[in-house]
Chain A
Amino acid sequence: MIEKALKGGRGYWAWVAFLLVVIGIGVTAYARQMTIGLGVTGMGRDISWGVYIAQFTFLVGVAASAVMLVLPYYLHNQKAFSKIVIVGEFLAVSAALMCMLFILADMGRPDRVLNVLLYPSPHSMVFWDVMVLNGYLFLNLISGWAVLGAERKGVAPAPWVKALIYLSIPWAFSIHTVTAFLFAGLPGRHLWLTAVLAPRFLASAFAAGTAILILITFILKKVAKFDAGPEARLKLSVLASYAGLANLFFLGTEFFTAFYSNIPAHMHSLQYLFFGLEGHAPLVPWMWFSLITGIISVGVLLSPPLRRKNGALIAACIGLVVSIWIDKGMGLVFGGFVPTPLEAIVDYMPTATEISVTLGIWAIGLLVLTMLLKTAIAVKTQE
C-alpha cells in the first residue's frame, strides 16, 4: 500500500522536499553533537534536560490522544469518526516515533541504547517507558495498517485487529501515565513531585492532541480534498474543550497547594516560571502567554456558536496547541530544575545545534505522518 505515498502532485513533492531539507539540517546538527558531545547543547550540570526531553514529553501526549478517536469510535460507535480514526492512529505512530528519536538524541551514549533491554530494570520508569512507547507504536501501526488494508480489499478486518485496537485504548493512557511517573517519582524536584502530574499530563495531552487532530482535518480538507465532516470536528472540539478545562483546573490546584501551604520549596519553581525568582525571569512572558492563550482558546471552544465557525475553531485549536506546547514542552521540564538541589538559579537557553536537531526530528515525524496519511487517503478515496 505504501507505494501510494509515492504518487502525488507538485505541492506534495514540494512539501516532501522541504521536509527532507530540514531533516538534512537536523542530521548535520546531530553529527556535530555526536562528534563534540552534548556540550554543544544549552544543557548543563544544573539544567540537565532540555528541549529534547521537553519535546518528548509533549509528543507522548500527542501520541496518546489518538485514543480520543479510537475510544468513541470503537467503544461508543460514534460513526462520525469513521473517516478519521486512521488519522488518529497514524498521528500516534509518528508522534511515538518522534518520542523515541528525541530520547535517542538526548542520550550521552546512544551506542549503548540496547543496554536498556540487555539489563532490564523494572525499578526504573525509563525501562517501562521504552516498553510502553514501543508497544504503542506497533499497536497503532499494525492495527491502522490492517484496517486500511482490509478497507482497500473491501472486506472486514481480521478479528485479531479488533483485539489490538481494544488493547491500544488502555495502552494510550499507560504511555502518558508512565511518562508522568518519569518525573513525579523524583524526590527533591518539587514542581514534578505531585500526584496530579499524571492526570494533568493526560488532560493536556487530550486537549493539545485533539486540537492537532482538528487542525489536521482542516489541512486534509484543503490539500487533499478529504473532508472528515463538520460533525467529527465538532465532536472533537467538545472533547478538546473539556480536556483543556481540566488542564487549567489542575494547574490551578498546583498553584493553590503551593501558595496556600506557603512551603518555599513548593513555591520556588512556580515563582520562577510565572513571576521570576531572584531576578531570573526568562520564562515569565512565555508562561503568561501560554496561560492567557490557553484560557481564551478553551473559552472559544466551550462556546457552541464560536466553535461552529471554522475560523474561530482553527484559531482556538492553534492557541490551545501553542499554549500547551509552551507549558509542557518548555516550562514543565526547564522549570523543574530551578532552583537546583543546591538552591542555585540557573537559566537555560537552547543552542542552534539543539534547535536544528529538534526541527530535524519534527521533520522526520511529519514526513512519516505525511506518507502514512497520503496512503490512507489514497485508499479511502480509491485513487
Chain B
Amino acid sequence: MSQNRREFLKKAGLGALAGLGAAAGLFPAFALEQTDMSNFTDKPVPGKVRWGMLIDTRKCLGNCTECIVRCHHDHNVPDFGKSKNEVKWIWKSGYENAFPTASTQFQNPEVLERQVLTLCNHCAEPPCTKACPTEATFKRWDGIVSIDYHRCIGCRFCMAACPYGSRSFNWLDPRPNIKELSTAYPTRMRGVVEKCNFCSERLVKNELPACVESCPEKALIFGDLNKPDSEIRKLLAANETMQRKPELGTLPSVFYII
C-alpha cells in the first residue's frame, strides 16, 4: 500500500468518525462542512416557450437521409444492425404508417408513396411522462419532452405509452455499436430509454436542431409555437397541416405540410 493511499484512508476514516460524532453532538468542532448551494440561481419560466417543428413533406426528398445521418451521428445513436434492438431518434416512415387514421381512399398516389420523417412529437399532453414512475422523462419548461438518463430505471412504460413509437430502449451496451464517437452529446448506457431531444444541447447555444440545419431542401422549420409572429406560426397559419394521431389528444408539437 502506498503512503498516499494510507494517508487518504486515514483521513477518510477520520471524516466518517467526525461525521458520526457531529451527528451525535459529541464534538461539533469536527462537523463536516456542508455543501454550499447558496449561489445556484435563477431558472426559466415554465410554459413561456413551446418549441415546435414543421415538416414540409413536399420538399423532403424520398431518398435523402442527411438529417437522419447527422442527428444519429451527433447524438451518438448506436447502430445494432438488427431491427429488434434498433435505436432511432428520427427516421422515415411510409405515409400510411405515419398517419394510420388519415384518409387514404382515392388519395393522390404521389402522397401515399411519400416517405414521412417521424420523430418524437414533444407532445403538449405527453402520455409517456405520465406513465414514468420516476419522472425520469418529463416535460421541460420549453415544451421539450426530455429524458433524464441518470434516473431512468428501464421499465419501458413510456415505450408502451407512446402512441408514435418514438422511443427506443438500449437492449445492449450502445458504446461498442457507435461507429464514430461524437463529442457533441454524451452516449447512453445499457438499460435506459432514449429518443429525440429536439437538440436541447444546441438550443442552449442558440443553434437550430441538427436535422433542421442539415436539411439541404430547407424542408424543416423550427421555432416557438407560443410566439404568434414566429416563422413556424406564420407557415402553420398559411398552410394546411397535419399532426400525427390528433384524435388521441396528445397535442403533438411536430406538424406536417402534405
Contacts and interface: CB of A to CB of B under 8 A. Distances in A.
Interface of A: 36-39, 41, 43-46, 48-49, 103, 106-110, 112-113, 115-116, 118-119, 121, 123-127, 130, 182-183, 185-189, 265, 336-337, 340-344
9 contacts: A38-B169, A38-B191, A39-B85, A108-B152, A108-B192, A108-B193, A112-B152, A115-B134, A183-B160
A99 B36 CA distance: 43
Given A44-B83, A108-B190, A340-B165, A186 B153 contact: no
A125 B160 CA distance: 13
Contact of A48 (B132, B153, B159, B191): B159
A108 B93 contact: no
A39 B156 contact: no
Contact of B153 (A44, A112, A123, A188): A112
B162 interface: yes
Contacts, number: 141
Interface stretch (B38-46, B54-62, B96-104, B230-238): B96-104
Interface of B: 80, 83-87, 93, 96-98, 100-101, 118, 127, 130-136, 151-157, 159-165, 168-173, 190-193, 245, 248-250
Classify the interface of chain B: helix, strand, loop or mixed.
loop
Nearest to A123: B130
Contact of B162 (A49, A106, A116, A341): A341
A182 B169 CA distance: 19
Nearest to B151: A115
- Residue in B163, B165, B173, B245 whose Cβ sees the most chain A Cβ within 10 Å: B165
Contacts of A185: 131
Contacts of A118: 134
Given A183-B160, A188-B127, 9 more contacts: A37-B171, A37-B173, A39-B171, A45-B85, A49-B160, A106-B156, A124-B131, A187-B127, A340-B165
B132 A106 contact: no
Contacts of B155: 103, 106-108, 126
B172 A48 contact: no
Contacts of A36: 172
Contacts of A336: 160
- Residue in B152, B154, B249, B250 whose Cβ sees the most chain A Cβ within 10 Å: B154
- Residue in A115, A185, A188, A340 whose Cβ sees the most chain B Cβ within 10 Å: A188
A261 B140 CA distance: 39
B156 A49 contact: yes
A55 to B, nearest CB: 15
Given A108-B190, A109-B191, A109-B192, A186 B85 contact: no
A185 B158 CA distance: 12
A115 B154 contact: no
Nearest to B174: A37
Contacts of B96: 343
Contacts of A130: 133
A109 B153 CA distance: 5
A48 B160 contact: yes
A45 B169 contact: yes
B118 A342 contact: yes
Nearest to B171: A39
Contacts of A112: 134, 151-154
Contacts of B173: 37
A119 B137 CA distance: 12
A187 B86 contact: no
A343 B153 contact: no
Contact of A186 (B83, B127, B171, B249): B127
A342 B93 contact: yes
A107 B151 CA distance: 13
B100 to A, nearest CB: 5
A116 B153 contact: yes
